[in-house]
Amino acid sequence: MLSVLNGHEAVLALAFRQRAKFEGWLKLELAVNLAAHGARSLVLEAPCGAGQRADLGFTMDGVPYLIELKTANTNWRLPGVAPKTRPITKNISGIVTDARKLMRCQARGFVAFVLFPLPVADYRWAHYLQRVSSQTGIALSEDGHCRRTNVRLPNGEGCEAVVCCFSVSGLAR
């Protein structure tokens, strides 16, 4: 997912500047990228049981996969970013809800999320990663599950995003 984001800095700068979510766009870009890397039977809004849907479903080497995506905007003040208040707590709850949903599915599940915009070299976001970890029961770490990327805003200022991905496969249902 990081390679998809790094190839579209202008799109990210636009979204970050307005604290606008971009999950729909990311879903399509990720689907195209997965298809180029061998994913088959790709489905947007893939059924995953009991009337539930995952953002993406596909098979790779005959193995079914489901992915839930989230773009979680923050409320930290940054130069060049609209001073809107966003409920980051609700965004984190959505990530936890998606992880729990995938735990009940019959495919290998992954949750991928982007936390944005963040001040450069600021680690306050790690608190939210630990919240996801404690509420899902999945041991998550910055080194094992997250990558940071820089985005240059139109005003010349920089900010960051954290991209995190984790598996929910094989977890107790």
Q: In whole numbers, what is the pLDDT of the chain averaged over residues?
A: 92
* Structure-token match 């059924």, residue found: 47
The verdict on residue 37 lying in a domain is: yes
CB atoms within 10 A of CB 43: 15
Question: Residue 50 and residue 63: Cα distance in Å, rounded?
Answer: 21
Angle subtended at Cα 131 by Cα 99 and Cα 52, rounded to the nearest 5 degrees = 15
Q: Provide mean pLDDT across the span 117-130.
A: 95
Distance of CA 74 to the CA centre of its chain: 13
**pLDDT tens digits, one per residue of 75-122:** 999 999 998 877 788 999 999 999 999 998 888 999 999 999 999 999
* pLDDT of 170 higher than 60: no
State the pLDDT at residue 162: 97
State the pLDDT at residue 2: 84
| Residue 26 binned pLDDT confidence (cut-offs 50, 70, 90) | very high
The verdict on residue 172 lying in a domain is: no
The verdict on residue 173 lying in a domain is: no
State the pLDDT at residue 150: 94
Question: Residue 167 and residue 173: Cα distance in Å, rounded?
Answer: 14
Angle subtended at Cα 11 by Cα 9 and Cα 15, rounded to the nearest 5 degrees = 115
* Strand bridging mode 63-73 / 53-60: antiparallel
State the pLDDT at residue 173: 42
Q: Provide mean pLDDT across the span 112-140.
A: 96
Question: Residue 93 and residue 149: Cα distance in Å, rounded?
Answer: 23
Distance of CA 62 to the CA centre of its chain: 25
Total of domains in the chain: 1
* pLDDT of 171 higher than 60: no
Q: Provide mean pLDDT across the span 20-36.
A: 96
The verdict on residue 76 lying in a domain is: yes
Question: Residue 143 and residue 158: Cα distance in Å, rounded?
Answer: 22
State the pLDDT at residue 149: 94
Give me the domain span that covers residue 111. Answer: 2-167
State the pLDDT at residue 50: 79
Task: Please tell me which residue, 134 or 84, carries the higher pLDDT value.
Answer: 134
**Element (DSSP H or E) covering residue 127:** helix 126-136
